[in-house]
Amino acid sequence: MNRSLLTLIPTLAVATLLSAGCGAVADAQPRVAATPVAQSAPVAAPVAQSAPAAEQASAAPLPKSAPQPAAAVQKPAGAASTGGTDLDAAADGLRPFLLTPAEIGPGFAVGDEPRPDPAQPAICGGPGVVAQFPYAVRVGAAAESPSGLVQEAVSVYGDPGSAAAAYRASLAGMDCGQGSVGDKPVVLAPAEDLSADLPYDEATGWRLGGEGFDVVMISVREGEVVMNFTVLAPEDGLPALPDPLVVAQAGAQKLLG
């Protein structure tokens, strides 16, 4: 992987979770699918369900085939943490339904799983979603290549209302023109409604970046499930990575059906 990205991976992993999460960003088209790379880095195969895992996910969507993690999201009276074997078991049950490096594209290898950190603020300031909504099953996956990083993070809340509130909090945490990821300043293009391309309860995309890097983030909500996808590249390097919108479509299809 490009060494200039190595120090960004931990903070962008946090941003992935907080968002559900480039000097040229301010002038860039906000359409997250505007950088077509499907020909050079195909991710269309999982969407077309040519991969066995995608076929299984299509035949058995989350409510039927995957564990019911919402049942494990219970706030004990007076509890101050979200630890527990029930949450861990629910997260383990969801991992087979996350995208693999092979499904993202050629040349990708397994990266470090993004981990939630309630101490990290939102990109635009204030408490992050993990701090505001600690009771959720959270699981993630990452794939990296010499050209950049693709991350997927899933949060399953106890009910659709809690998931919708967390989703709104994530929108508020990205509602600014300038913010920061860790100690690095970033510029954000306006959020875009992607529900026409991702036909779930809610879907939003952002393009942002800072000195030396560009990022596209996409957040999807369906019922009690919130999915966040992050594509990170060196500055002006997004065209070398899979189309973020296609990645989100493939990931949502595999998990949600």
pLDDT of 138 reads 96
17-26, 167-176, 247-256: segment of lowest average pLDDT:
17-26
Q: What pTM, to 2 d.p., does this model score? A: 0.74
Q: To the nearest whole percent, how much of the chain has pLDDT over 70?
A: 67
For residue 87, give the nearest of 10, 168, 154 by alpha carbon. Answer: 154
pLDDT tens for each residue of 200-254: 999 999 999 999 999 999 999 999 999 999 999 999 999 999 999 999 999 999 9
**Residue 163 has which token pair?**
């998931």
Q: What is the pLDDT of residue 10?
A: 43
Residue 31 reports pLDDT greater than 90: no
Residue 91 and residue 83 in contact, taking contact as beta carbons nearer than 8 Å: no
Rounded to whole angstroms, the Cα distance separating 248 from 239 reads 16
Do 184 and 14 meet the contact criterion of CB atoms below 8 Å apart? no
Can you say how many angstroms the Cα of residue 175 is from the centroid of all Cα atoms in its chain?
Answer: 17
Compute the distance between CA of residue 43 and CA of residue 255 in angstroms, rounded to an integer.
16
What local confidence, expressed as pLDDT, does residue 86 receive?
84
Per-residue confidence (pLDDT) for residue 66, from 0 to 100: 52
Provide the pLDDT for residue 26: 30
Residue 2, pLDDT score: 41
> Where do the domains of the chain lie, and which CATH numbers do they carry?
3-69+83-256 (3.40.1000.70)
Check residues 192 and 34 and name the one with the higher pLDDT. Answer: 192
- pLDDT for the residue numbered 183: 85
Per-residue model confidence (pLDDT) at position 135: 93
pLDDT in tens, 215-228: 999 999 999 999 99
Give the Å distances, CA to CA, from 247 to 98, 105, 159, 190, 206: 11, 10, 26, 20, 14
List, for residues 84-121, the tens digit of each pLDDT value.
568 889 999 999 999 999 999 999 999 999 988 999 99
Residue 11 — very low, low, confident or very high, per pLDDT cuts 50/70/90?
A: very low
pLDDT of residue 73: 57
